[in-house]
C-alpha cells in the first residue's frame, strides 16, 4: 500500500471518529442486524422487542429497595467513567438479585488503580475490560469521595465539569492515577480485603436486547463518543449537533422512554448532580447515537 493510500485511510478513520453517523445511515445499518424469531420492531426506536416491553421504564422504580441505582458520582479530573459506571452497575445488580438484602457500594477506585488491562488509569480506559476485571479478580467495597464507606472508597475529589466552570474547574486540577493497593485503606472499615470480594460474570449486550436485559436484570453500561455539546447538556433528548470530539465516555443505562415522540436511553453520568438533569441524561435511542449501542455490557453476581 502506497504512502498516499495509507494517509487517505488514516484520514477516513479520523473523520469517522470525529462525527456521529447520520440517523438514516444508522437505521440502514440496523436493518441488517440478525434478530430473534418472533421479535417485533418497536415504533420509532430501531429496536426489536421480543417481550412487548413497556414504552418507558426506570429501574429506580422497579427496584426501589436498591437506592444505589439512582446514585450519581463525580469522577473528578480523571477519565474514570469506565470504572465508575461498571462499579455502580455491579452494585445495583447485586442488590437486585438479592432482592434488596445485600446493598454493597463497590469500588470504582479498585478498577481505576488495579485494572491494568482496562487502559491507562485516569487517562481513560474500556468499560468492557472493567467487567472482565470483575469476573477475574472481583471487586471490594468502596463508596464515593468523602464517604468513608467500604474498603477502598474513591479518593479523587470532585470538580466542575461544565464548560463555564471557573472555581474548582476540572481543567485546573492535576491528573493522576492513585496507586493500586491490595488492602483496605479505609481505617474505619472492619472487614479484611480478602473477605470483601464480590465476583460475577460478564457479557456483551447486543443493542436489540438491551431493553430486555435492563428490564430483567437491572442497569447495564455503555460507552460512546462524547462531544463538547454533551459536556454542555442540560435537558431533553441528546443527539450530537456540534462541537469537537472530547473523549470516550461510559455511562450506566437504567431505563428508557420517549419525549415528544423521540425515544431515549436514561443514562447516569459521572459529572455530579449539578450536570445535566440532576446528573442524568436522555440519549437518543435506537439510532446508535455516537455509537452508544455498539458497546453495551453487563454481568451477573455469583
Domains along the sequence of the chain with CATH: 48-298 (3.90.70.10)
CB 240 within 8 A of CB 289: yes
At 165 the pLDDT is 64
Q: Is the pLDDT of residue 86 over 80?
A: yes
pLDDT tier for residue 1 given thresholds of 50, 70 and 90:
low
pLDDT, mean over the chain: 87
User: CA 58, 62, 298: angle at the middle one, nearest 5?
Assistant: 70
pLDDT tier for residue 177 given thresholds of 50, 70 and 90:
very high
pLDDT tier for residue 6 given thresholds of 50, 70 and 90:
very low
Q: Is the pLDDT of residue 26 over 60?
A: no
| pLDDT one-digit tens code per residue, 46-60 | 455 556 899 999 999
Q: Is the pLDDT of residue 27 over 60?
A: no
| Average pLDDT estimate for 198-217 | 96
| pLDDT one-digit tens code per residue, 190-207 | 999 999 999 999 999 999
Q: 259: which 3 cell numbers?
A: 419525549
| pLDDT one-digit tens code per residue, 87-136 | 999 999 999 999 999 999 999 999 999 999 999 999 999 999 999 999 99
pLDDT tier for residue 168 given thresholds of 50, 70 and 90:
confident
| Average pLDDT estimate for 54-81 | 97
| pLDDT one-digit tens code per residue, 249-281 | 999 999 999 999 999 999 999 999 999 999 999
At 188 the pLDDT is 94
Burial of 221 (0-12, 13-18, 19+ CB in 10 A): buried
32-41, 110-119, 149-158, range with the lowest pLDDT: 32-41
pLDDT tier for residue 2 given thresholds of 50, 70 and 90:
low
Amino acid at each position: 500500500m502506497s504512502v498516499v493510500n495509507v494517509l487517505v485511510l488514516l484520514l477516513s478513520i479520523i473523520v469517522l471518529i470525529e462525527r456521529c453517523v447520520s440517523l438514516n445511515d444508522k437505521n440502514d445499518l440496523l436493518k441488517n442486524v440478525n434478530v430473534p424469531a418472533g421479535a417485533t420492531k418497536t415504533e420509532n426506536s430501531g429496536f426489536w422487542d421480543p417481550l412487548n416491553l413497556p414504552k418507558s421504564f426506570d429501574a429506580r422504580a422497579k427496584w426501589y429497595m436498591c437506592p444505589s441505582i439512582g446514585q450519581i458520582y463525580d469522577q473528578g479530573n480523571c477519565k474514570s467513567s469506565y470504572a465508575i459506571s461498571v462499579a455502580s452497575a455491579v452494585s445495583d445488580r447485586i442488590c437486585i438479585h438479592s432482592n434488596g438484602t445485600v446493598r454493597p457500594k463497590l469500588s470504582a477506585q479498585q478498577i481505576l488503580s488495579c485494572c491494568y488491562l482496562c487502559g491507562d488509569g485516569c487517562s481513560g480506559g474500556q468499560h468492557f475490560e472493567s467487567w472482565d476485571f470483575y469476573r477475574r479478580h472481583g471487586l471490594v467495597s468502596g463508596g464515593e469521595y468523602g464517604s468513608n464507606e467500604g474498603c477502598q472508597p474513591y479518593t479523587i475529589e470532585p470538580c466542575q465539569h461544565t464548560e463555564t466552570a471557573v472555581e474548582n474547574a476540572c481543567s485546573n486540577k492535576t491528573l493522576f492515577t492513585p496507586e493500586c493497593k491490595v488492602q483496605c485503606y479505609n481505617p474505619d472499615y472492619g472487614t479484611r480485603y480478602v473477605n470483601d470480594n464480590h465476583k460475577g460474570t460478564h457479557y456483551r449486550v447486543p443493542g436489540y436486547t438491551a431493553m430486555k436485559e435492563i428490564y430483567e436484570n437491572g442497569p447495564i453500561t455503555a460507552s460512546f463518543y462524547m462531544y463538547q455539546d454533551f459536556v454542555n447538556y442540560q435537558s431533553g433528548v441528546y443527539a450530537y449537533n456540534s462541537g469537537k470530539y472530547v473523549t470516550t465516555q461510559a455511562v450506566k443505562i437504567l431505563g428508557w422512554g420517549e419525549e415528544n415522540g423521540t425515544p431515549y436511553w436514561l443514562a447516569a453520568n459521572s459529572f455530579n448532580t449539578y450536570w445535566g438533569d440532576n446528573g442524568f441524561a436522555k440519549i437518543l435511542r435506537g439510532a446508535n447515537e455516537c455509537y452508544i449501542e455498539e458497546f453495551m455490557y453487563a454481568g451477573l453476581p455469583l
